[in-house]
Structure 1
Amino acid sequence: MLNLDLALLGDWLNAYLWVLFRVASMLMTMPVFGTQLLPMRVRLYLALLLSLLITPQIPAVPSLDMLSLASWLLIGEQILIGACMGFMLQLLFQVHVIAGQIIAMQMGLGFASMNDPAMGISVAVVSQVFTMLTTLLFLGMNGHLVAIEVLAESFTSLPIGQFFQLSTWMEVVLRFTWVLAAALLIGLPAVTALLIVNLAFGVMMRAAPQLNIFSIGFPLSLVFGLFIIWVVLGNFVGQYHELVSEVLILLRDMVGAS
């Protein structure tokens, strides 16, 4: 007859469950894996697989009663840490969405929106193009593997039972303001070019009021905006590489990984 040691079983559950909560919360909030495109069951299986692979490689976890208040606080701590890591990566994609919205509003395509199957909301077509390019580059450059590597290292640099240091967290937040400004930097060339075009139309309307500038200006602004987007996409990879490098560095600094 098989005899089960309840204490040993509890320690085993503690070792894997604490890891599972952090891993699962990050997978639920990070881009690509945390979207509606990936079924919930697949995400759960992936979280279980990563937990089984990571747990034997990390330091010993605290042994607590599963029904105690300290255990519930520890669960909330792991969920918060994983969600913050996933949210940090999610902002990388939202920066390009905001940049696409800025360009679309300036070129007159703000009304042209489509459903984003990943987020379940309507976004501008230009934003959707930028999102698809960012997703392909993120997967093509193994950004998901780097994120999982940082997640595994976080259990060593930020062990279970230890929370973010306030000074480190504030430093990361202050440094992340550069990443938020990247949306304006991405859309600035197109916005500047379209502003010059609109100023030119304003001068033409002032010089020749009899011209129907609205029927002429809107198609020209749209065509010129598409041309500017084509030019901007030529340097899209370089801008993305610089931005994703900064985000991954901030992610490592947030958890104290080397």
Structure 2
Amino acid sequence: MALLNALPAFLLILARVSSFIAVMPIFSYRTIPANVKIGLAAVLSILIDLTLFESQSVPLDDTFVLLIVKEVLVGLTMGFVAGILTYAVQFAGAVIDLQMGFAIANIISPENGSATPLTGQLLYLFQMLFFLGVDAHHMLLNGMMDSFRVIPLNSLNVSFGSGNLAEFLTRLTGQMLLIGVQLSLPIVGCLFLVDVAIGLIARTVPQVNVFVVGLPLKIIVGFILMLIVFPAFIVLFRFIFDSMTDAFSTIMQLLGSS
């Protein structure tokens, strides 16, 4: 009987945790088997239930379905906010590839099954290694557990329709684009100077076929610049991590403000 009374609360916890894992970085990758994701969500839900809601019961009434929908939306929103800033490196890679001439050679990413720029995928892998090295995945799981303290489990008062939430998500998207531009600007700027130099050569020495010389030259210069600039990317990866932590805390406060 006690198990049946605890089942509704467990289902609500499982709805938030599973929807969060479905879209959050690292754990949402298609290369991770679905059985592992389901098992992880179930184990985390059991631990959260025993830790925070051991004596709390949720009635099975007309609002239970709405509570399930609310938990799914909360989990998806938190996972989206946790992952959006990590996509800045893929945006930066797309801009770099456009300048280097790699834009026509996109690959299918095994993580999400979509076309991804070559340089963007390389930067994204470096970023994920950095995040795993600083235990960002543990931070996300800990933040998801803390969300149950900020956003009540048995309450429908979640401010999805708040203008503050829409404004925050808009600013977060703009911040993602800004980080992407900052990542790509050193390489793109130097490659622009290479374009200017090639243009001057084409005007002064018309015998040189700039279409044959220009593309290999930009690729070589691009690789050399990436080797030089890569150490500085670690600083921006740290900034992305700190921004992701702040955004995660802010979205929980906005969702639980009502």
Relative to the length of structure 2, the TM-score reads 0.90
Distance in 1, matches of 2:148 and 2:164, equals 17
Structure 1 counterpart of 2:159, from 164, 169, 184: 164
Aligned partners of 1:24 and 1:82 also within 8 Å: yes
Letter of the structure 2 residue corresponding to residue 255 of structure 1: M
Q: Which residue of the partner structure matches residue 144 of structure 1? A: 137
How far did 1:254 drift? 0.7
**Number of positions where the alignment pairs a residue of Structure 1 with one of Structure 2:** 249
* Runs of at least 4 residues off by over 6 Å: none
**1:197-208 alignment runs, 5 A limit:** 197-208=194-205
Structure 2 counterpart of 1:173, from 169, 172, 182: 169
**For each residue in 1:74-131, what CA deviation from the matched residue of structure 2 results, as whole angstroms up to 9, or x when unmatched?**
1111001101111112213321111111101101111222221111123221111112
Structure 1 counterpart of 2:209, from 208, 212, 215: 212
| Cα RMSD (Å) | 1.8
Give the secondary structure class of the aligned counterpart of 1:238: helix
Structure 2 counterpart of 1:127, from 120, 126, 130: 120
Structure 2 counterpart of 1:47, from 41, 51, 67: 41
Letter of the structure 2 residue corresponding to residue 242 of structure 1: F
Distance in 2, matches of 1:156 and 1:185, equals 36
**Structure 1: runs of 5+ lacking an equivalent:** none
How far did 1:167 drift? 5.2
Q: Which residue of the partner structure matches residue 243 of structure 2? A: 246
Distance in 1, matches of 2:212 and 2:176, equals 38
Distance in 1, matches of 2:194 and 2:82, equals 35
Distance in 1, matches of 2:175 and 2:105, equals 29
How far did 1:226 drift? 0.8
Structure with higher RCO (Cα < 8 A, 6+ apart): 2
Letter of the structure 2 residue corresponding to residue 16 of structure 1: F
